[in-house]
Each structure stands twice: as structure tokens, then as C-alpha cells.
Amino acid sequence: MIPETLCKSISYSIEAGGKRLRPVLLLAVMEAFGAKSEKGLDTACAIEALHTYSLIHDDLPSMDDDDIRRGKPTNHKVFGEAIAILAGDALLTMSFSFILDDSRLNAEEKMQVASLLSKSAGPAGMVAGQAEDMEAEGAELTKDQLEAIHDKKTGQLLQCSVVAGGILAGASAHELESLKRYAKHIGIAFQIQDDILDITGDQQTLGKPVGSDVSNNKTTYPALLGLDGAKEELFRHVAAAKHELAKLQHETAVLEQLADYIISRNH
């Protein structure tokens, strides 16, 4: 039995929306490999739950101290810090139950996917990226340093979504490597577009103040490369992502469209 306020806090952030990019990637990979995507639904929910936990905790006053997320007041603004922390904790632990309790997966699949998710999100993955990002505040980073932080902070979970789709679809080790490289490129492209949107202001429609990351004293791609340079880098990574897909002998049109979506998205 989940206490009522905790349940409301969890539902508030999950139902606030979001692009559902990670679940869509996982299911699209499965379909590209000719597998039934229903088999990936609970793993897709697990990754979205874990992603939502990371956003709730990222918004806390002790972290990024944000007031708006997914176009709504952040979880701690509505429920208070203590409940927001617990809602995040609950979503993190629930994500592993979604995988382990999934009757559509065999024991080997559960083990592989849970292990991948744990490594991607854990202290050498997303949590490491968050810690390094906080430590780097105020420092001038090189492009390689910036890329390494983003690879952990946001890239690892995107890679996990794509590779988990491959695992559940029975992809070979060679194919999983190509999928991982595809995801790595779209992860970097995703971050560059996030930085560009912060300058061009399109995210204002969701309540994020223009330049908020810049005023946070963080290195961004446009700050390092200029706006045109950042756009060139964005296109280069999307092209490289598509190049990886071309190596696969599968119907990858939707995965190509998802790479294009990273460029065209306005929030």
C-alpha cells in the first residue's frame, strides 16, 4: 500500500508528460529488428520511471533548484522537498521491479536489462555525470570534457534505452555495438540541441527561462563553438547516427526519423 501523498507525488511527475523519448527509442529498436514491441513495454516504463526520478532530484534546491518541469511546477514546489526526494527514490526502485516482475521476459533477459540499467544510471553512469556536472560549475571545460560529462549524465540512459531494445529483440553483439554508437551520437546531438534551445528560447513555452543554463555558469556547446558551430556539430552527430543505422540489415526508417526529430524538436 503506497501512502496517498507519496502516490500523488509520483503520479504528478509521471503524468506531467514529457516526450517519452527513451521508451519510444526502445520500442522503435524492437520493431526495427522485427520483434513484437509489447514485449518491451514494461522495460520502457522502467526506464521512463528512472528518468522521471532523475528529473525530480535534479530539480531540487540542493541540485539545479528549478521551479518548472514539463511545463508545471516542479515536484518539490507542490509536495515539498521531503516527499519529492521520496517520490524519486520510489520511482528508482520501482523501475527495477518493472523489469524483474515482467512475465514476458525470461531470466536471462531480466538479468541483462536490469544490469544494463543499473550500470547506466548508477555511480559510474548518470549519477557520476550529475556529480561531475556539479563539480564543473564555474570551470571552463573543453569540448571533450563537456562531452564526457554529458555522455554520463544524459547519454548513458539514452544508450541503455536503445541497447535494451536490441537485447529484447535478440540482436547480435555486433548489432548491439552499432546500436550503442547510434545512441551515443543522438545523445550528444540531443544535448547540443538542448543548449541551442536554451539560447533561441523555444523552451520558454514550457516555462524554462532563456539562458538559464548559461546563467548557471555551465559550459555549453554554443558557448564553446558559437551558435553556428554548435548547429554544425549537431548535424554532424545526427549524420553519424544515421551512418550507424545503415550498417544494420534492418528496417531502420523510424530510428532515422527519431534522429531527425532531435534536430527539429523545440522543447
- Output Rg (C-alpha) for the chain, integer angstroms: 18
Binder to ligand GRG among 9, 13, 75, 130 (CB under 6 A)?
130
Burial class (CB in 10 A: 0-12, 13-18, 19+), 142: exposed
Binding mask 209-238 for ligand GRG (x = CB under 6 A): ------------------------------
Total of residues contacting ligand GRG (CB under 6 A) = 16
Instruction: Report the nearest approach of ligand GRG to the CB of residue 58 (Å).
Output: 4
Show the site string, 33-62: x = touches ligand GRG by CB under 6 A, - = not.
Answer: ------------------x--xx-xx----
Q: Which residues contact 198 (CB under 8 A, 6 or more apart)?
A: 208, 210, 211, 212, 213, 214, 220
Name 61's Cβ contacts closer than 8 Å, sequence gap at least 6. 76, 81
Q: Which is nearer to ligand GRG, 51 or 184 (CB)?
A: 51
Give residue number: closest CB to ligand GRG.
Answer: 18
Distance between CA 25 and CA 231 in Å, rounded?
A: 23
Cell numbers 528560447 correspond to 201
For position 186 contacting ligand GRG by CB under 6 A, the verdict is no
Q: Which stretch binds ligand GRG (CB under 6 A): 112-120, 125-133, 181-189, 252-260?
A: 125-133
Q: Are 221 and 189 in contact (CB under 8 A)?
A: no
Q: Residue 55 or 259: which CB sits closer to ligand GRG?
A: 55
* β-pair type (72-73, 68-69): antiparallel
Considering beta carbons, is residue 134 or 246 the nearer one to ligand GRG?
A: 134
Q: How far does CA 246 lie from the centroid of its chain?
A: 23
Residue 154 found at the interface with ligand GRG (CB under 6 A): yes
127 binds ligand GRG (CB under 6 A): yes
Which among 3, 136, 9, 8 has a CA at the least distance from the CA of 84? Answer: 9
Vertex 48 angle, CA 59 and 233, to 5°: 75
Q: Which of residues 61-100 bind ligand GRG (CB under 6 A)?
A: 63, 70
Q: Which is nearer to ligand GRG, 178 or 220 (CB)?
A: 220
156 makes contact with ligand GRG (CB under 6 A): no
Shortest distance, position 72 Cβ to ligand GRG, whole Å: 10
Q: How far is the CB of 198 from ligand GRG (least distance, A)?
A: 9
Phi-psi region of 24 (alpha: psi -120 to 50; beta: other; left: phi over 0): alpha
Scan residues 8-37 and list those touching ligand GRG (CB under 6 A): 18-19, 21
CA 218 to CA 224: how far, in whole Å?
11
Residues in the chain: 267
Which stretches of the chain bind ligand GRG, using CB under 6 A?
18-19, 21, 51, 54-55, 57-58, 63, 70, 126-127, 130, 153-154, 194
